[in-house]
Structures are given as C-alpha cells and as structure tokens.
C-alpha cells in the first residue's frame, strides 16, 4: 500500500493525501476524514523518505538566514516555519553568517538534502557584485528559490520585499516637513535593503532641494548591534561636534541605542531629539518612550512568500516580484 493506492481508494488527488498526512488546514474536514479512514483501514504508515520517493518531494523547504540572533531574521524564520507547517511542509534551517563562501556552502548543503525549495531570508543574500549571485541562479535551475526582502533577476527566482527606499524617504520627509532638517541617518548594513534605505534618505533631501550634510550619514560598523555600543558611538560623534535634531535608523536596535544616547546626553525625546526606527519589532514597544518605527510588513511578506511558493510547487505561475508598502507607526519618540 502506497500513497497512490490511498489516493485512488479515497477518490482524491495525491496532493490531497499528502496534505492530510502533513496536517495541512487546506483540506476540508469531510475530505480529511475520508482519507484518514482509508489510511486506518489499510494501516498505511508514511515516512519522509518513502514520501519523497513516491511524490518526487520530501515535503521539506530549506531556509537560509545569516544570523538567527538578529531580531528581524529570527522573526522572519518564525513566520515562515509556522506557515510552512500549516501547509504540510517541514523546514531545514541553516544559519550561514555573512561571508559569501559560507552562503554558497550552505545552499549546496540544502540542495544535497533534496529540499523542494530554498528560501533566502534577508537582503544580505543579494550581493552588489551581480556576478557573485550566480550560485543562486544555478540553484534555481533545480528548484524554486524564494528571496525575502531583496530582488534578484533570474529564472525560477521569486522576490518578496518591502519598498524600503520609499519607506525611509517618507519618514525623513515627514521630519523635514515638520521643520526638522538636521537629521542623522544611522545604519549598519550595505546589503540590498541597506542600500535602498540609504538612497531613500538621500532622496528626501533631494526632493525638497535641501542640502544634505554628509557627516550626518553614519555607519555603525557591526552587524551585531549592542545598544550600549550604539550609545557610545553617538556620544563620540557628539563630542566631535556633530549636531542634529533627529535620528533615522535602519533598524529598531540602532534606534534604541539612539534613545539611550539621548538619556545619557540629557536630551529630551522628542522635544530635543526625534528618533525613528525600522522594522516595527517587539522592542519598539519595550522602551520608554515607545519607539516610532517603520513597519515593513514582515509577517505579510513571509505569508506571501509561502503562498507564492505553494502556488509555484503546484505548477502554477506567480509574479516574480511582490512589493509591499511600509507604514510609519508613530509613537512617543516623534511629534510628527
């Protein structure tokens, strides 16, 4: 007795039997009951390897992220794994770090595990040197590749991302329009997303024909953000004489560091210093005052990624790029 026999006796497709076996909620209770009755009658006990041989699928999706301790990446992995489980798929997670050679190694490892698709979580997987992305294009010749929060052209590659450029441009423009023109932009990554955010900040000044002080664009040099180190970084800038009335950051963690700096420097927030973070993560509501932050719709993006992947695996077409707009969530660190 195999999965083909079960589908024939239950009068349903093989895909439906697979969903029932994996606990997917995409099957009606009546259909699930019918399939389970046949399984019980004939004592069918599937296992992952036999399932892979029978359906040419292991019902497993590979997930690559650079660093599972990063709040944004960890949250994305949580959303993806939860949704994939609901669809009847298992997940294999590899944390690659940020070196290109390690990214290539772990992608090859997942391919060797015969996963049905690989999801690349985070814009750091799309290199600025386009030739360094060829290993992703090669992998996409074998299985669908999904990319969260970045875009890469190539057959069988699907990108789901937030419009980071417009998000930061809108936030900085709101500050400028309120009369605050001296804004520090603080970032820690030159990834695909990081470059888009920085361009959006510059565009806010360009669109209003206001000169931009290049000293007010500062890179915090570590991927591993410790808020006290951010505080010290900003205190050092202050001692060097850099003046500004607002801070826009590329992540909420940097923004919390800016909030700690304000307290150390005796600045009132938002009266003396306005602060805007990015990601609208849980920490935005854990500080005092609560953090104004850009909501990049991470859960929506992850759910769309999974929905698109399920459609691709079923043999249907989906857009190669899905782009979502961000919202500015206003809280206590701004008066705009």
The pLDDT-based confidence of 12 (bands split at 50, 70, 90) is confident
Domain count, the chain: 3
Minimum mean pLDDT range among 6-10, 197-201, 276-280: 6-10
Give a yes or no: residue 335 inside a domain: no
The domain of 256 spans 164-295
- If asked whether residues 215 and 285 sit together in one domain, one would say yes
Residue 106 has pLDDT above 60, yes or no: yes
264 and 177 both lie in a single domain: yes
> Which of these ranges, 60-64, 68-72, 224-228, 295-299, has the smallest mean pLDDT?
224-228
pLDDT (mean) for 11-25: 78
- Together in a domain, 77 and 193: no
**Mean pLDDT to the nearest integer, 44-59:** 57
Residue 336: inside a domain, yes or no? no
Percent of the chain with pLDDT over 70: 95
- Block residue for tokens 């992995």: 77
Q: Treating both helix axes as pointing N-terminal to C-terminal, what angle do 14-21 and 29-42 enclose, rounded to 10 degrees? A: 90
Same domain for 286 and 174 = yes
User: Does residue 256 form part of some domain?
Assistant: yes
Q: For residue 330, is it within any domain?
A: no
d(CA 26, CA 28) in angstroms, rounded, equals 7
CATH label of the domain that carries residue 230: 3.40.50.2300
Q: Mean per-residue pLDDT for 90-104?
A: 96
317/311 Cα distance (integer angstroms): 7
* Structure confidence by residue, pLDDT tens digits, 111-156: 999 899 999 999 999 999 999 999 999 999 999 999 999 999 999 9
218 φ, ψ (degrees, to nearest 5): -130, 135
Place of tokens 């206003």: 330
90 & 144 share domain: yes
Strand pairing category for 274-278 and 117-121: unpaired
Give bridge partners of residue 157 from the DSSP assignment.
145
Q: Please check whether residues 258 and 144 belong to one and the same domain.
A: no
What's the CA gap between 196 and 174, in Å, rounded?
Answer: 18
Question: Which residue in the block uniquely carries the two structure tokens 């970032």?
Answer: 187
Specify whether 78 is located in the same domain as 189: no
Paired tokens of 160? 């789901």
Top pLDDT among 18 and 275 is at 275
* Same domain as 187, residue 157: no
Please determine, for residue 249, whether its predicted confidence score (pLDDT) is greater than 50: yes
Closest to 115 measured CA to CA, from 33, 45, 38, 56: 56
């Amino acid at each position: 007795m195999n999965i083909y026999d079960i589908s024939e006796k239950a009068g349903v497709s093989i895909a439906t039997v697979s969903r029932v076996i994996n606990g997917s909620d995409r099957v009606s209770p009546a259909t699930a009951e019918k399939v389970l009755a046949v399984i019980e009658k004939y004592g069918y006990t599937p296992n992952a390897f036999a399932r892979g041989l029978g359906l040419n699928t292991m019902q497993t999706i590979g997930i690559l992220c650079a660093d599972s301790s990063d709040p944004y990446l960890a949250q994305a992995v949580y959303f993806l794994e939860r949704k994939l489980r609901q669809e009847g798929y298992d997940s294999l997670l590899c944390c690659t770090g940020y070196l290109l050679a390690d990214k290539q190694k772990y992608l090859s490892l997942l391919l060797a595990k015969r996963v049905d698709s690989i999801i690349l979580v985070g814009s750091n997987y799309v290199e600025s040197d386009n030739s360094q992305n060829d290993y992703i294009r090669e992998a996409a010749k074998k299985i669908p590749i999904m990319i969260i929060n970045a875009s890469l052209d190539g057959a069988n590659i699907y990108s789901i991302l937030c419009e980071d450029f417009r998000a930061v441009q809108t936030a900085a423009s709101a500050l400028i329009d309120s009369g605050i023109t001296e804004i520090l932009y603080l970032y820690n990554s030159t990834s695909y997303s990081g470059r888009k955010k920085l361009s959006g900040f510059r565009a806010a000044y360009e669109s209003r024909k206001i000169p931009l002080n290049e000293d007010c664009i500062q890179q915090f040099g570590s991927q591993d953000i410790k808020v006290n180190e951010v505080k010290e970084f900003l205190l050092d800038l202050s001692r060097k004489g850099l003046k500004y009335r607002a801070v826009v950051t590329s992540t909420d963690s940097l923004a919390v560091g800016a909030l700690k700096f304000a307290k150390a420097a005796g600045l009132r927030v938002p009266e003396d210093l306005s602060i805007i973070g990015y990601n609208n993560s849980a920490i935005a509501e854990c500080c005092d005052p609560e953090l104004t932050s850009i909501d990049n719709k991470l859960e929506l993006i992850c759910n769309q990624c999974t929905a698109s992947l399920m459609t691709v695996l079923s043999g249907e077409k989906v857009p190669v790029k899905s782009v979502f707009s961000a919202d500015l969530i206003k809280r206590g660190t701004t008066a705009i």
